Structure 1
């Protein structure tokens, strides 16, 4: 039984009412604040939560159903907070959470068998920018177009609720709530269902390495950060310090939630190199184990974004059941005992293509100057280019061998949201090179 099943977080419909559960290990007491609902049975009252051990507080409210809006009062803040595991934020990340019935959606693709990993061809999609309407429903209407392109999988950029009405999704605030500007949770379920009906797998990009700067109230409930480690965003997410068990539970529950209630085929794990964890097993290994336990009959993929070219991410777990520690260079541990993830986004191919075709040579592109076609071919054969050579941008040796790893374990591209959006003018590769050269690069990608 997964953590999500043993101690699910948030507001869950149970029998004739709703079970509320929140993790607040540093709070003396927690009060459930019912803000009413849009129906005729609106209730507005304050109810004491009951301590349930390990920092969890619970309360069952009889007769309370979907649509109820609620918050939690920790006693010290001037206003109650939304639920860190709330399933929907109808008024945005600063407003109350809403009780959702995930079983209300009538799935039409119960016999969906997924797409084999070797057949995955991704289309990265931002729900807000993909159509003029910027909604799940509008994107759903374009699934036939995507199928005709020849892709076999849609990767949604993060959809968790964010502050404001426009965002890439990498400023996560409400991790369990599809953003209200895109639609309601049932609309996202409908999108996934319709994609499956078209034969398309659907992956979700999730961000567990940092919180956004506004509306991320989970940090008010528990010590989600630690000063043991630093990341590009500041203090690291607390995966190995005091109270880290609850933090790990929160994020693994979140992964299982998206995979179970929305039937995503897999997750892209953003910047796993910033998930710093000195405990054993590593957080990523624990996640892989929990996902495997929760889905024994149909594969759910976990694919890391990681710039270290470190094979321990995707090497299988060892016989001891615990991954060994990678060294400081990101090399696989002795015996190649790994975390058991399914794949990794590999950037070397992209960087080489940009250098060869557009001449990019600044920052990390400096490690790929004077790229040759033969070097690109070698990268495609082995998955990534750096397998232990010195990389000036990193200031050390980078990468590990890929010997024995199947090609489908590596996801490569010639453009993605980072490589376009992080450019000063947002230039795509098509704006920097001729169309014949772009077609040639695309052909290399498609036939790789």
Structure 2
């Protein structure tokens, strides 16, 4: 029997006349009813194809609280847009079309132009809301970044969570301001020239308030993940699950005007279908782009060093526009003298970083002692704009026991060197909130579960995790309000002493990245890298049609002598982190005689031999 495969958009949507279209996927239910809290009326839904139940009604209005009954149990909408009473409360109908957008003239930046600023809504400001974030947009514009990446906003339990415990992928966290406040924030960003990247989680659903399995087989026992059973992308009844998540992608782009998605840990998505779920998402996004003429990007975090994810569909790839490369971070970290424990043990100071500059992946078919196997493939042919690099991010700060930022782990001079190392790469640079002014507050792991047993399990798990590292002291209580509060940025520091110096230094680096044609270029072929492991230095040479630049990275604790390459023109300094202007140890000359230069310890210097 052939069944019509047209599937509705999950959840509640309103048409121009205000009539609600309701769709719920519950393939094994015998009856589904819409329950309106305002009068406790119960309206049956009609069973359709492929497990969907639908309803057209005038009884449900925007702002109304509602639930569904499935197997006689009262549950929030699995595709709810708003949970004003938290994950355990009723859903609230929201009309996605009611917001008055003023960003019609907005055009997303080209991916190669992105300079990204990652932030966590709850700790970016004292209030921890989208509205208070709006008040900082002028600061970000002045800093020079042109894209903000917001950590996940899907509804989680309580007010304090990284966001990766979200249980309603369509819903916008109530403590942040809900869906309208997010639309307002995106609109304000676009008015100021800022693109918005949203971090989304399609590899698991959080533990508290997760009702999906009560509606249907959203999960499968075929695969195990670090979070339990995998999301069902290829088992029985998977079509409804695939529709649920692929429509979620379209919603963020179409209804919230999000410019790009960063998909969390896609290596944990288990799918052996002929068309991988990421490919399906790519195809649906491509159809949306053709319809609207807009640009939207799909960026993934993955731990596989597998170019299949970022190759276009026409080459048999999954069609993702870009990816984070943690290996650049790992190599940069050990080059700065930080410890080589855990997964950092695979990386060598200097040489691994030099390889990542040239090859993106450090492990591209090489044997990994940490993994006990050969790992990765070569990234040949993939342009630099497909790789996002950073000296720190939420993971590599927050997953430390005490959540120390780089500012607490290395010297002021080394912080400037690490920043320079990121901005001279042929990849997309990303900052983690506060690093630009050397924020000293930690960014710790925190949750706000309301289930006491779950909260205690998280506490014990966190202690157990770090006991294996034989670290002194105890991990901060992730449930503590103090842990959450101590992770907030201290904006009063921005204008003070060395913090102001660091901020100005970052502004200069960002300006150079935009102004200098070679730094702005993402050509991975136009780069030469010379590593000197014994002297703890790297020289990065990049060129374009109009310009050549040389970056000197001295990770050593003493000065180092260098000879710059021969060229038709004299080399002139663009920036040197050791200059007095940046509270450094000594000025590097503005021009270089005889191509010989001395670069102070733990410093970064950048030269050019031609105009911009």
For normalisation by structure 1, the TM-score amounts to: 0.91
2:19 is aligned with 1:17: yes
In the alignment, what sits opposite 2:415? 438
In the alignment, what sits opposite 2:340? 361
Deviation at 1:400, TM superposition (A): 0.9
Q: How big is each residue's C-alpha offset from its partner over 1:153-175, in whole Å with a ceiling of 9 and x where there is no partner?
A: 00000001001111110001111
Cα distance between partner residues in 2 of 1:33 and 1:352: 55
Q: How big is each residue's C-alpha offset from its partner over 1:39-65, in whole Å with a ceiling of 9 and x where there is no partner?
A: xxxx43011111012111111212532
* TM alignment of 1:340-355, pairs within 5 A: 340-355=319-334
Q: How big is each residue's C-alpha offset from its partner over 1:207-242, in whole Å with a ceiling of 9 and x where there is no partner?
A: 011111111111210111111111111211111100
2:229 is aligned with 1:235: yes
SS in 2 for 1:124: strand
Q: Would you say the 8 A contact 2:335–2:353 is kept in 1?
A: no
In the alignment, what sits opposite 2:140? 146
Cα distance between partner residues in 2 of 1:378 and 1:407: 14
Q: How big is each residue's C-alpha offset from its partner over 1:165-215, in whole Å with a ceiling of 9 and x where there is no partner?
A: 111100011111111101031111110011111111001000011111111
2:47 is aligned with 1:89: no
In the alignment, what sits opposite 1:135? 129
* TM alignment of 1:31-430, pairs within 5 A: 31-36=33-38, 43-77=39-73, 80-296=74-290, 297-318=293-314, 337-368=316-347, 370-372=348-350, 374-430=351-407
Cα distance between partner residues in 1 of 2:406 and 2:218: 39
Cα distance between partner residues in 2 of 1:6 and 1:166: 35
Deviation at 1:378, TM superposition (A): 2.7
Deviation at 1:6, TM superposition (A): 5.5
SS in 1 for 2:174: coil
Cα distance between partner residues in 1 of 2:145 and 2:368: 34
SS in 1 for 2:49: coil
SS in 1 for 2:230: strand
Query: CA RMSD of the aligned region, Å?
Result: 1.3
Q: Would you say the 8 A contact 1:162–1:171 is kept in 2?
A: yes
Deviation at 1:351, TM superposition (A): 0.3
Deviation at 1:16, TM superposition (A): 4.2
SS in 2 for 1:340: coil
Deviation at 1:126, TM superposition (A): 0.6
Cα distance between partner residues in 2 of 1:351 and 1:415: 9
SS in 2 for 1:292: helix
In the alignment, what sits opposite 1:323? none
Q: How big is each residue's C-alpha offset from its partner over 1:310-340, in whole Å with a ceiling of 9 and x where there is no partner?
A: 000011113xxxxxxxxxxxxxxxxx52111
Q: Would you say the 8 A contact 1:226–1:237 is kept in 2?
A: yes
SS in 1 for 2:365: strand
Deviation at 1:377, TM superposition (A): 2.9
Q: Would you say the 8 A contact 2:299–2:322 is kept in 1?
A: yes
SS in 2 for 1:295: helix
Q: Would you say the 8 A contact 2:107–2:295 is kept in 1?
A: no
Q: How big is each residue's C-alpha offset from its partner over 1:78-107, in whole Å with a ceiling of 9 and x where there is no partner?
A: xx1000001111111111111111122111
SS in 1 for 2:22: strand
Q: Would you say the 8 A contact 1:16–1:64 is kept in 2?
A: no
Q: Would you say the 8 A contact 1:382–1:407 is kept in 2?
A: no
Q: How big is each residue's C-alpha offset from its partner over 1:345-386, in whole Å with a ceiling of 9 and x where there is no partner?
A: 101110011111133211110110x321x5423312222211
Of the structure 1 ranges 355-364 and 423-432, higher mean CA displacement relative to structure 2 is found in 355-364
Max Rg structure: 2
Cα distance between partner residues in 1 of 2:274 and 2:233: 11
In the alignment, what sits opposite 2:538? none
Q: Would you say the 8 A contact 1:209–1:274 is kept in 2?
A: yes
SS in 1 for 2:142: helix
Moved segments of 4+, more than 3 Å: none
SS in 1 for 2:420: helix
Cα distance between partner residues in 2 of 1:298 and 1:260: 10
Of the structure 1 ranges 56-65 and 240-249, higher mean CA displacement relative to structure 2 is found in 56-65
Cα distance between partner residues in 2 of 1:157 and 1:433: 25
Cα distance between partner residues in 2 of 1:307 and 1:264: 25
Q: How many residues align?
A: 417
SS in 2 for 1:151: coil
For normalisation by structure 2, the TM-score amounts to: 0.67
Q: Would you say the 8 A contact 1:88–1:185 is kept in 2?
A: yes
Q: Would you say the 8 A contact 2:36–2:60 is kept in 1?
A: no
